[in-house]
Structure 1
Amino acid sequence: MAVNNTTGRPRGRAAGCLQALLVPLIILGALVAYNAYKDNDSSSSSSPLPSSSSASQDEESGEWKVGDCGGPDPERSGDSYQALDCDDSGATFKALKIMDAAILPDSIQCPAGTDIIIQVSLTFGSSDSGIPNSTVCGRNLSGDHPGDAGAGGGQLVKGDCIDANAQEVACAQAGAEDYKVLDLTKTEAECPSGTTDPLKLTIAIGRPYDYICATAAA
C-alpha cells in the first residue's frame, strides 16, 4: 500500500517509499516471562516480589511497583526473571512503569526509556506457563539503554528512526533514505506539522496507534 505524502516529500525520495504492507506488526522489545510460584506449603510459597524493606512493592499483594528491581532467574528456563533488591549483584533492571497484563504484545506501549518488557505471570506448581498478571516496563541498571529515543532498540517511540521498511535503526547511523518518527497516532490527521511520510500500518488488534508520522532523518 502506498504512503500518501500529504505535506510534500524530501528531494531525492520517491513518493510512497515507506512500504506499509511490509509491516504487519510493529513488535519491538523483549516480551519475557517472570514466574511466581505458589503451592499448598506456605513455608515454600513465594509472591511475585519478595518481602524487602528496601523495595517499594505492596507486601500484602506482592505486586510490582515502580522502582522495584529484578534480574534473570538462573533456576528457570528461557527468559525468566525474578524480583531482586536493587543493590543485589544479580539485579539488571528497574521498573519504570507497571501496566495491565496483555495477551497481545502489540497492546502494550511502554514509555520511552524502556529497555525490556516483562510479562508477569502467576503460576502454580512447577509449570512454566501461567496466568498473565501485569506487565513491567523496565530500564537497565547498566549504562546500556537501547530503549532511549533514537538509540535503535526497545519499542518504537517518538524520536526514533526507521528505515524504508519501518524497521527501527539508530538515529546516529540513519542515512538519506531513513526517517525520523515525529509521533505515533491513530489517524493521519493527528500527525504533527512537519510530517512528510505518514505511514499507515496494517491492522493489529490492540495496538494504540495506526500511523507512524515520519519525516526525513537526514
Structure 2
Amino acid sequence: MRSGRFAGVAVAVAAVLLSAGCRPSSSGEPAGGARPSASRTASGYGARFLAVGECSSFGTVSFTEVPCGGERAAARVTARYDGAVDTGPACPATTDFVLHIGAQRTGGAGAVPPGYACMRNLEPPHPGDPGGGGGPHTIVGDCVYGSGHGRVRETACDGSGPHRPQYEVVRAVTARDRCPASTALYVRLGGAQPVGCATRV
C-alpha cells in the first residue's frame, strides 16, 4: 500500500461538466493570468495531488486519486492549474470534464491549493470529442440545440443524447463575415477563432 502525502484526499466537485462555450453568451476560453501548478516533488501517485498524468476514480460527490493501473482508475489528468477556472487557462479542447479542487489540508506540513484538473476518460465515451455531446468547450464538429432565450447547449451529434441535434459547428473563424453562406447560427467558441459557424442538421 502506498503512503503518499495526498493519497486518499477526496476532491469536492463544484461542477464536473462546465457549460462555458456551450452557449453564445459565454466564451469557452477563460481569460486571465493563472499559471500551471508546479509539482513540489517528483510526479507519480501520491507525490502531488492529481498532477498531470495521474488518475482519479469516478464518484457521485467526490473523486479520489488512484493509481492509473488500478481497477478504480477512470480518468487521467491532462492539465492541472492552481486558481479559479474562470480566470485561469482553458483546458485542452477535447477535455471530457473538469474537476474543481478545493483547498485541502493534509494533516502534515503540506496542503492542496485550490485549483482545477482537466480530465480525459481512460475509456470511451469521450464527451469532449467533436460531436460527443459534452465537455467544457464547444468545438468544430460539435452539435447543439436551442435551449431557450437565445442560448444553445451541446448534444450528441448521433442523436444518442436526450436532445435532438439542431445545428452542427462546421467551422471556427475570427469573425462572422468569414462564415460560409450556409451558416444558420453563430456560436461563441473563444480562443483565437472565437466564432463557430453552425449549419442546420
The answer to whether TM tops 0.5 is yes
Structure 1: 5+ residue runs without aligned partners? 1-21, 28-48, 202-206
Cα distance in 1 for partners of 2:100, 2:165 equals 37
Structure 2: 5+ residue runs without aligned partners? 1-22, 29-38
> Which letter does structure 2 place at the counterpart of 1:90?
R
What percentage of residue pairs aligned between the two structures are identical? Answer: 23
> Which letter does structure 2 place at the counterpart of 1:214?
C
> Which letter does structure 1 place at the counterpart of 2:70?
D
Aligned residues of 2:179 and 2:197 also touching (Cα < 8 A): no
Q: Who is 1:116 aligned against?
A: 97
> Which letter does structure 2 place at the counterpart of 1:65?
A
1:188 aligns with 2:169: no
Cα distance in 2 for partners of 1:95, 1:193 equals 34
Give 1:200 shift: 5.8
Q: Who is 1:161 aligned against?
A: 143
Q: Who is 1:96 aligned against?
A: 78
SS in structure 1 of the partner of residue 158 of structure 2: helix
RMSD between aligned residues: 4.0
Cα distance in 2 for partners of 1:161, 1:132 equals 36
Give 1:103 shift: 5.5
Highest Rg: 1 or 2? Answer: 1
Aligned residues of 2:141 and 2:170 also touching (Cα < 8 A): yes
1:44-59 correspondence runs (5 A): 56=44, 59=47
Q: Who is 2:186 aligned against?
A: 198
Cα distance in 1 for partners of 2:134, 2:54 equals 22
Give 1:193 shift: 4.7
Note closer, same or farther for the CA distance 1:210–1:182 as it changes in structure 2 (3 Å cut): closer
TM-score, normalised relative to structure 2: 0.57
> Which letter does structure 1 place at the counterpart of 2:52?
V
SS in structure 1 of the partner of residue 152 of structure 2: coil
> Which letter does structure 1 place at the counterpart of 2:81?
M
Aligned residues of 1:102 and 1:135 also touching (Cα < 8 A): yes
1:178 aligns with 2:161: no
> Which letter does structure 1 place at the counterpart of 2:84?
A
Note closer, same or farther for the CA distance 1:216–1:101 as it changes in structure 2 (3 Å cut): same
Give 1:217 shift: 4.5
